[in-house]
Amino acid sequence: MMQFDKDLQSIQEARNLVEAANRAGEQLKKFSQEQIDRIVDAIAEATIPHAESLAQMAVEETGFGRVEDKTTKNLFASVNVHRYIRPLRTVGFLSDDPDNKVQEIAVPMGVVAAIIPSTNPTSTAIYKALISLKAGNSVVMSPHPSARNCILETCRIMEEAARKAGAPEGSIGCLSLPTLAGTRELWSHKHTAVILATGGSGLVKAAYSAGKPAYGVGPGNVPAFIERSADIKKAVRDIIAGKSFDWGTVCASEQSMVVDAPVREEVIRELKKNNAYLCNEEEKRKLEKLMIVQNGGLNPKIVGKSPQFIASESGFTVPDNIRTLVVFLNEVGREEPLSCEKLSPVLGFYTVNGWEEGCEYSIRILHHGGVGHTMAIHSQNKDIIRRFGLEKPAFRVVVNSPATHGAIGLTTGVPPAMTLGPGTWGGSITSDNITPMHLVNIKRLAWETQSLDDLAQNSVQAKAAAVKPPAAVKDDDSREAVIDESEVEKIIASFVTERKGS
């Protein structure tokens, strides 16, 4: 029997899935808001009972993160995201502006090509299916090869629920043979309308070069500044909670804490109380050797792994209750290898003197691989908080909350999302948390507000006003001068002649 090349099989599968999704999309365009909402409700309801089992599959298949935290992320997508998008109007007439006589109409974009990462595989798949279908689009997913099975299972559950709720066949598709060639075929296919790319910076750049509209997510090197007025106990507890969540696999996770000098010792005491391990200089060097490869990149072996695993692989041991490894840093850049995004429960610690120096270090950290993404500030000084909001090159500035949870909208009021745009600073077209409203085109029904005759009359009056002198002036003898209006009359006569001629 002839053996077909895996890339060729993947390319053909991508073509089949996109064509099926396009057929489904043609039907979805005709669905009412009620029909769309019924499908979205069914997807959310179907995934809730499987939140833990899908998390278990993801951890076993990828080796990343913790089951309990991945379960939370799955429920975040099924419950929080769904709760936010459910009231949104995404079909038909969206708004009516009677003053300007403009009505807005939602139109689905078409087939969404969704790239799913290995770090947050099942939760991202649920999230992207919900926002795509809510916008009236079909979706085809390309799973990271190391998370193929758990993503396929997630899509199977969602597709079955969607079909039962009335969705046409092909509304939710997923590559079973994910290859780079298949993914390229998916996002360059003539029927693919838009790309939702979540993954490494190389993949995101490739998506932007595919010749299709794309929403990409860059890396996040997130600083968390603790200013001297902060509630220190809560600030440290929040940072450790954010950093240790799913062992640091969320792109909005804290990567370094920047600590105001007057509260340094109190912060250190609280770190120890919150099961953080403070590495000495020798242990720091061992971590650098393990975590950073020769080209300066991150060793994938440590991504999403526990502190105990990372310490052991580095050549030292830490107690079982440790949640985070803390390393003391002085500089930002190649001279401090661990000042980068670490995607693991390893946290940098900088000491600064005052909020101005904290501001400077936060900016340097963001520009070292996380510009535009996220930062956190812990402070009770509203003026300083406002300065950070105005001046820092991050589009999500989380205040007095874990950066991880706050940026995705779990502990703050920003739109709940698993795709967080870093804006043009980070190479993206948007700085928003991506919602269904990013996946609809807006058509505008614009009624006439003034006729061409009105415009003509307004133009005559405007020209007349432009050349008409003041109503009355007095000459040197204090006698009122006579105003010659012949120029105004000439302009009006000329304009009327032109109008008749046209």
Alpha helices in 65-192 (DSSP H): 67-75, 82-85, 121-134, 148-164, 180-188
C-alpha distances in Å from residue 34, one per residue of 41, 51, 371? 10, 26, 40
- Could you please report the per-residue DSSP string of 71-84? HHHHHIIIIIIHHH
Summarize pLDDT for 86-107 with one digit per residue, the tens. Answer: 999 999 999 999 999 999 999 9
Is 214 within 8 Å of 383 (Cβ atoms)? no
In b/e form, how buried is each residue of 299-326, taking b as 16+ CB within 10 angstroms?
A: eeebbbbbbbbbbebbebebeeebbbbb
Characterize the bridge pairing of strands 102-108 and 440-446. Answer: antiparallel
User: What structural domains does the chain harbor?
Assistant: 32-218+436-445 (3.40.605.10), 222-413 (3.40.309.10), 452-501 (no CATH)
The residues pairing with 351 across neighbouring beta strands, listed in sequence order, are 259
Residue 93: its H or E element: strand 92-97
Summarize pLDDT for 295-332 with one digit per residue, the tens. Answer: 888 999 999 999 999 999 999 999 999 999 999 999 99
Quote the pLDDT of residue 483.
47
Residue 324 CA to its chain's centroid (Å): 26
Distance in Å from the first CA to the final CA of the chain: 76
pLDDT bin (cut points 50, 70, 90) of residue 494 is: low
Quote the pLDDT of residue 296.
80
What positions carry a catalytic annotation?
251
- Residue of 187, 188, 170, 16 lying closest to 196 (CA atoms): 187
Quote the pLDDT of residue 471.
58
**Mean pLDDT, the chain, whole residue set:** 92
pLDDT bin (cut points 50, 70, 90) of residue 209 is: confident
Quote the pLDDT of residue 488.
52
Q: What is the pTM of this model?
A: 0.89
Is 270 within 8 Å of 237 (Cβ atoms)? yes
- Residue 43 predicted with pLDDT over 90: yes
Quote the pLDDT of residue 173.
98
